[in-house]
Amino acid sequence: MPNPGITAFGAYLPRLRLQRSAIVRANAWANSALAAHGRGERSMCNWDEDAVTMAVEAARDALSGADRSEVSAVHLASTTLPFTDRQNSGICAEALNLETEIGTLDVTSSLRAGTTGLANALGAVRAGAPGQVLFIASEHRRSRTGTPQELLYGDGAAALCLGQGDVIARLAGRHSISVDFVDHYRGQQSEFDYDWEERWVRDEGYLKIVPPAVAGALRDCGLDAGAIDRFLLPCSLRRVPEMVARQAGIRPEAVADGMQQVCGDTGAAHAVLMLCRALEEAEPGERILVAGFGQGCDALVFEVTEAIRSLSPRRGVSGALARRAPEENYDRFLTFNGLVDKDFGKRAEVDRQTPLSTLYRNRRMLTGFVGGRCERCGTVQFPKSHYCVNPNCGAFDSQADHPMADTPGAVKTWTADSLTFSIDPPAYFGMVQFEGGGRLMVDFTDVDRETFDIGARVGMQFRVREVDSERGFRKYFWKAVQSD
């Protein structure tokens, strides 16, 4: 049986880009050394984004034009999953309207989860998993204020469709090393990572653990290090990827840019994000080696095939990077990440308990955003109901499921409400008219206040609707986002 490979890819980065200079300005009085990391920008989640919502958006990009019924499993890698005891990959599968008879798996507890999860998902394909395995890596890391990590981290997600046959990049070889080398950690009761000294991490960690993993992957596929065209190693320590490449015998020009200046290090997602960017630019015949570091190292070698030329257009990493809104308000970043105790007034003091039985009964509507289409007259409506809303039809039980998440729409009405509670006031909401029929009152998010108005084109994105902080539960729904 031929080696499995990648059939498609997708990516997502939050629209907001916090300028690192804003972090330095706020904290330089206490730590002037932060200025060394003050150039560029980092991707920043809006208040209603997390590892699950970003994973869904990256997966939607990867599945562009694909038959979702062919997806047989969803694997999600992250160290910042919003639920500790609820399967986060299951939420993604529900939001993507995938079949219920699929496998779901969360992979976590190490920044190497991205590459370890990818290697194991490819192993499932090789072992005979039917159809496509959807692998997603997503990360929304928090850090203490005024630390280098606050500047170096970034939020983002990437997704890969894995299968056999007509792949765009075939797995040529892989090798893994497991070593309990603790460069940083986050205990069960801790909010933030605790990091160790950088020089020790570089010299005893990256430079001693990564090269043997790279050598093992090259042996597995029978290649010389000089045959590698692109070397991907996520690392926020300067010059480390170049040092590892030199030690491994990989050409200097093969070392890929880590995107540190434009989005930051997206943790467990970063190796997969870099792989997606490499696939955007790669030509048939190129060999890509991606490595992931964290309590050991995974190294995987891919060979790009001719099928890369026929892959349908998608947003990808380049599109995600281009969709940006510079953010200078450091306090907004702190508030969105719960790093300051902000008083939102009396209107915020509402019990936000979610009736789990109601959520389950309506999961297709709430999580999957599935409406109805009358099979008698063709009228589309949301929510789906027993009666057709067309006054000239009114048919009973005539509606078939009609997924609406990928249907574009236009703003019919909108309001910016500064009185109702919102973490990011004012709260924007209004009426959206969907192409092909159907309209709905929705929340708007990522609003560009300069260009947003009636008639603006919008698409739907999976977002956090409310947070029940008393019980630690997040309520998800779909919101309208202005199209680029």
**Residues in Cβ contact with 352 at an 8 Å cutoff, skipping those fewer than 6 apart:** 466, 467, 468, 469, 470, 475
What pLDDT is recorded for position 311? 96
The sign one gets for the Cα dihedral 362, 13, 330, 193 is positive
Q: Quick one: pLDDT at residue 3?
A: 87
Supply the pLDDT for residue 134: 98
Task: Output the furthest CA–CA distance in the chain (Å, rounded).
Answer: 75
In this prediction, residue 352 carries a pLDDT of: 84
Query: Over the stretch 28-61, which tens digit does the pLDDT of each residue have?
Result: 999 999 999 999 999 999 999 999 999 999 999 9
Residue 342 has pLDDT above 90, yes or no: no
pTM value is 0.97
Does the structure show a pLDDT above 90 at 137? yes
Per-residue pLDDT reduced to its tens digit, 416-433: 999 999 999 999 999 999
**Average pLDDT across the chain, whole number:** 96
Residue 475 near residue 465, CB atoms below 8 Å: yes
| CA distances (Å), origin 13, targets 49, 60, 101 | 10, 13, 30
Range 80-95 average pLDDT = 98
pLDDT, position 194: 94
pLDDT of 261 higher than 80? yes
464-483 pLDDT, tens digit per residue, is 999 998 899 999 999 999 99
Q: Which residue has the higher pLDDT, 177 or 342?
A: 177
pLDDT band at 351 (very low <50, low <70, confident <90, very high): confident
Instruction: Assess whether pLDDT exceeds 70 at residue 244.
Output: yes
Question: Which region, left, alpha or beta, applies to residue 285 given φ > 0 means left and ψ of -120 to 50 means alpha?
Answer: left
Residue 1 predicted with pLDDT over 70: no
- pLDDT given at position 292: 98
pLDDT tens digit sequence for 99-121: 999 999 999 999 999 999 999 99
CA distances in angstroms from 293 to 9, 138, 223, listed in the order given? 22, 16, 22
Instruction: State which H helix or E strand residue 361 sits in.
Output: helix 356-361
Direct distance between the N- and C-terminal alpha carbons of the chain, in angstroms, rounded to an integer: 43
Band (pLDDT 50/70/90 cuts) for residue 139 is very high
Query: What does the pLDDT look like over 187-216, one tens digit per residue?
Result: 999 999 999 999 999 999 999 999 999 999
Domains by residue range for the chain, with CATH = 5-336 (3.40.47.10), 405-482 (2.40.50.840)
Residue 435 binned pLDDT confidence (cut-offs 50, 70, 90): very high
The percentage of the chain sitting over the pLDDT mark of 70, rounded to a whole number, equals 100
Is residue 38 within 8 Å of residue 151, measured between CB atoms? Answer: yes
Q: Please state the φ and ψ torsions of residue 458, each to the nearest 5 degrees.
A: -135, 155
Which DSSP helix (H) or strand (E) runs through 150?
helix 148-152
Alpha-carbon separation of residue 94 from 120, 140, 293 (angstroms): 22, 21, 31
